[in-house]
């Protein structure tokens, strides 16, 4: 009788244990999925803010002095009451992203195995945090260079920014994630944007008076942010996964896989179409943004000139009246 009663109870205990184990596994994978999406979205939002801030300031400088435009002497843009706000924002956001990748996202809240080695499941965390570390160093040394007021401040600061973009391009290109599926296509197109940011930053060192170079760099940084946010939502939101594809748990994180070659080709084509649509949208937005700001600041500039010298306006009116009188007399 005891043996008979022991059998069902053992089965129930085993079943409950399996359910708890499945719940813990699903909770861990959901956690990794959330932080994968959240990390891309947070990083993308930071790129968008910096890109739009630079775009606004470069357009403003060009609108106020189109014939004598010159990029700012510091590469970054100080704020009157809080000079280093832009750089502090980069430092804080980079620190948050590094903490998310290395200490919050991992199940043990640190990226190492008990023996001190780096597990393969956390390689992508270290890659992502290394990208943010490069921008952290750029912002930190930009403040230090500004405090020392060295002669090559702009060139060295811009070189540090170029190094950060080069680090980003290198790590995306040699990313440990699979480069064959939709995720790989997203990363491939992201490399194009990072390459534009890197090239314009390097060229800008020798061409500080080129508005087009500064404008294109700001646009590429903004586009990077938009594309990172798109990646975060499209690759780790189950409802947005491409038709015929699914989320598969591999090495501690989710990867989008497709059921067959036809579904894969369709997904890759849709990624390309997405990029082209965002490309057009960013172009329309940035050019429209330029037109609005130029009209606004040139109008203020013209009004300021009239207010500074009202006699010129009176003299021009007198000349106009005399001209009209001569025309009527003849």
pLDDT tens across 58-72, in order? 999 999 887 777 777
pLDDT at position 247, please? 85
pTM: 0.79
Can you spell out the DSSP letters for 216-256?
A: HHHHHHHHHHHHHHHHHHHHH-GGGSPTTEEEEEETTEEEE
CA distance 144 to 56: 25
Residue-wise pLDDT tens digits, 165-224: 999 999 998 876 666 789 899 999 999 999 999 999 999 999 988 999 999 999 999 999
Of all residues in the chain, what percent carry a pLDDT higher than 70? 72
Q: What's the confidence (pLDDT) of residue 277?
A: 98
- 311-329, pLDDT tens digit by residue? 544 444 444 444 434 434 4
More confident residue, 308 or 26: 308
Q: What is the pLDDT confidence band of residue 124, given thresholds at 50, 70 and 90?
A: confident
pLDDT score at 2: 45
Determine the Cα–Cα distance for residues 272 and 279; give it in Å rounded to an integer: 10
Q: Which of 13-17, 148-152, 199-203 has the lowest mean pLDDT?
A: 13-17
Percent of the chain whose predicted confidence (pLDDT) is above 90: 49
Give the pLDDT score at 136.
Answer: 96
pLDDT at 237: 86
pLDDT at position 312: 47
Cα torsion angle, 186, 228, 131, 190, sign = positive
**Nearest of 130, 123, 212 to residue 164 by alpha carbon:** 130
pLDDT (mean) for 75-93: 93
Smallest CA-to-CA distance from 243 within 266, 220, 221, 216 is with 266
Higher pLDDT, 11 or 212: 212
Cβ proximity of 166 and 198 under 8 Å: yes
Residue-level pLDDT at 317: 44
Please say if the pLDDT value at position 304 is more than 80.
no
Which helix H or strand E contains 47, and what residues bound it? Answer: helix 2-64
Q: Identify the pLDDT of residue 177.
A: 63
Select the more confidently predicted residue: 186 or 17: 186
pLDDT tens per residue across span 34-61? 446 667 888 899 999 999 999 999 999 9
**Higher pLDDT among residues 232 and 120, named by residue:** 232
For residue 276, the model assigns a pLDDT of 98
Mean pLDDT, to the nearest integer, of 88-109? 84
Under the phi-then-psi rule, with left for phi > 0, alpha for psi from -120 to 50, and beta for the rest, what region is 257? beta
pLDDT score recorded for residue 318: 46
Of the listed ranges 22-36, 157-171, 284-298, the least confidently predicted one is 22-36
Between 11 and 272, residue with greater pLDDT: 272
Contact 255, 247 (CB under 8 A): yes
222-281 per-position pLDDT tens digit: 999 999 999 989 988 888 899 999 988 776 677 888 999 999 999 999 999 999 999 999
């Amino acid at each position: 009788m005891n043996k008979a009663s022991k059998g069902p109870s053992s089965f129930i205990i085993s079943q409950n244990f399996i359910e708890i184990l499945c719940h813990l596994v699903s909770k861990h994978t959901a956690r990794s999925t959330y932080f994968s999406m959240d990390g891309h979205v947070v990083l993308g939002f930071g790129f968008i803010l910096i890109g739009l801030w630079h775009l606004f300031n470069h357009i403003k400088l060009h609108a106020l002095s189109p014939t004598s435009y010159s990029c700012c002497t510091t590469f970054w843009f100080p704020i009157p009451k809080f000079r280093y706000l832009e750089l502090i924002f980069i430092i804080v956001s980079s620190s948050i992203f590094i903490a998310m990748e290395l200490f919050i996202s991992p199940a043990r809240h640190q990226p190492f195995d008990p023996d001190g080695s780096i597990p393969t499941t956390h390689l992508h965390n270290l890659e992502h945090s290394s990208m943010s570390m490069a921008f952290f160093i750029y912002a930190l040394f930009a403040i230090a260079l500004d405090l020392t007021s060295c002669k090559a401040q702009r060139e060295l600061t811009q070189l540090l920014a170029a190094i950060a973009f080069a680090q980003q391009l290198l790590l995306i290109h040699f990313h440990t994630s699979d480069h064959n599926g939709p995720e790989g296509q997203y990363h491939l197109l992201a490399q194009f944007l990072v390459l534009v940011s890197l090239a314009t930053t390097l060229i800008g060192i020798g061409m500080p008076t080129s508005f087009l170079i500064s404008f294109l760099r700001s646009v590429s940084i903004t586009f990077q942010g938009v594309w990172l946010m798109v990646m975060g939502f499209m690759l780790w939101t189950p409802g947005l996964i491409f038709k015929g594809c699914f989320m598969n748990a591999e090495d501690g994180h989710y990867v989008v896989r497709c059921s067959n070659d036809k579904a894969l080709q369709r997904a890759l084509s849709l990624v390309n179409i997405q990029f082209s649509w965002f490309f057009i949208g960013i172009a329309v937005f940035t050019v429209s943004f330029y037109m609005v700001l130029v009209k606004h600041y040139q109008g203020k500039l013209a009004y300021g000139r009239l207010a500074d010298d009202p006699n010129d306006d009176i003299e021009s009116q007198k000349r106009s009246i005399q001209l009209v009188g001569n025309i009527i007399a003849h």
